Amino acid sequence: MTATADSTDGSDEQRSEAVARRRREILEATCETLSRKGVSATRIADVARRLGISTGLVHYHFATKDELLAEAFQFAGKAELEVLRELAAVDLPPRRRLNAVIEEFCPRGEFVSWRLWIEGWAEALRSERFRATSRELDEAWIGVLEDTITAGVASGDFICPSPHDSAWRLSCLIEGLAIQLVAHGGTIDSVEMARLVDAAVSAEVSGG
């Protein structure tokens, strides 16, 4: 039997695991490339070079560049969303848990994930697939924030008339400040952003 580009000797399960592992490696490399080069400048060859594999192997897993980029954006967003959900489930005092969720969402380090988010939002203007993914992930993130605030209200630690409205306002503030910090470099710094976000949280959620 002739092996496919990513098959290995062994069971179907082993082959399936090998394919899944390779797809994940390609998606991770694509996310890293996208955050540095942007959507328009990223090529299949860039991803292949980063992994030391052929472009043919990338195409074996992803038929087109558009498919690869869209799946990479979704892959990165879902990974970050899972981290936020895990933080929201940690047994901490409500305000500390809320702060942990917000801190995780805010830009830090070299802004790799936020560069990717901003690229994805820009591409959503042209791509229905990017638009659907962006909307889905954004609503999910706001849902995590709303649930975290709601839990604090239920425990009696927070006073917040509408966790839903507060979550939307806080999300829009964080995203807007993140764009100023990451895309406009110098308009605002991380310290000032943290101060503004903390003041907004205190205004939206009293107690805790």
| Parts of the chain belonging to CATH 1.10.357.10 | 67-207
Supply the pLDDT for residue 108.
Answer: 86
The identity of residue 179, as a single letter, is I
Under 8 Å between Cβ of 126 and 152? no
Supply the pLDDT for residue 4.
Answer: 46
First to last CA, the chain: 65
Per-residue pLDDT of the chain (208 residues; tens, 9 = 90+): 334 455 445 588 888 888 899 999 999 999 989 888 888 889 999 999 999 999 999 999 999 998 999 999 999 989 999 999 999 999 999 999 999 999 999 998 878 889 888 988 988 998 898 999 999 999 999 999 999 999 999 999 999 999 999 999 999 999 999 999 998 887 899 999 999 999 999 999 987 5
Supply the pLDDT for residue 155.
Answer: 94
| Parts of the chain belonging to CATH 1.10.10.60 | 1-63
Supply the pLDDT for residue 179.
Answer: 94
Supply the pLDDT for residue 95.
Answer: 93
Pick the CATH number of 67-207 from 1.10.3720.10, 3.40.50.300, 1.10.357.10, 3.40.190.10: 1.10.357.10
CATH 1.10.10.60 fits 1-63, yes or no: yes
Question: Pick from 114, 147, 121, 149: which is nearest to 135 by CA?
Answer: 121
Tokens standing for residue 175: 């995203």
